[in-house]
Amino acid sequence: MIEYQQRLLETIDGLDLKALDNIIMEVCGAIEYDQRIFFIGNGGNATTASHIAADLQKGLSEHLPVKAISLCDNIALITAWGNDKNFRFIYSEQIYQLAQPSDYLIAMSGSGNSPDILEAVNAANKIMVTTIGISGFGGGELAKDVKIPLVIDSDDMQIVEDVTLVVGHILYREVLARATRGELKQRS
């Protein structure tokens, strides 16, 4: 237990704060310009995607409307795309249907090599959606394919998933603080 805690704290302490600040700035810009922010992930990161989208949308509702949307939440749609086409396309097909240029995609993958996540990032890049990736295990292909990568320095999936949630909460708290101080204003 103590070893895990130490590794977790070391990994949090080793976060690339410049990359994290870039993500915060991009999300603030998306909110100010009323753009959509899509979240995706698999397994534990799917729940983190839903969690952070909910935090942003609900938590900032008293200050600004936030179009934070988890593409992990429609199980009927995910299984329909998976069954009828291929599970590799469960998020990319949603991106093609819902996203517009200037929207944002935050993709979370423990390994950075999940085919469905990479396919979604590829789709988002094709239609000029700003892509952000959070991954561990050296970043994988995800870190190479996104505009803004944040690589969590661990090859332990549970550490990577824990730190991904911490990153999401840092993002939420920083955006909330800026909204509370009146630094975020919707622009037309």
User: pLDDT confidence of 52, banded at 50, 70, 90?
Assistant: very high
* Whole-structure pTM value: 0.97
Q: At what angle do helices 157-180 and 17-32 cross, to 10 degrees?
A: 50
Among 114, 112, 138, 104, CA closest to 30: 104
DSSP one-letter string for 157-178: HHHHHHHHHHHHHHHHHHHHHH
pLDDT tens column, 119-158: 999 999 999 999 999 999 999 999 999 999 999 999 999 9
Burial of 127-154, coded b for 16+ CB within 10 Å and e otherwise, reads eebbbbbbbbbebbbbbebbbbbbbbbb
Distances (CA, A) of 26 to 84, 116, 131: 35, 23, 10
CA distance 163 to 153: 10
Would you kindly state where each structural domain of the chain is located, as residue ranges?
Answer: 16-178
Question: Looking at 12-129, which runs of residues are DSSP E strands?
Answer: 36-40, 67-70, 104-109
Q: Is domain 16-178 classified as CATH 3.40.50.10490?
A: yes
Q: Which amino acid is at 72?
A: C
pLDDT over 90 at 186, yes or no: no
pLDDT over 90 at 1, yes or no: no
* Mean pLDDT of all residues in 86-100: 97
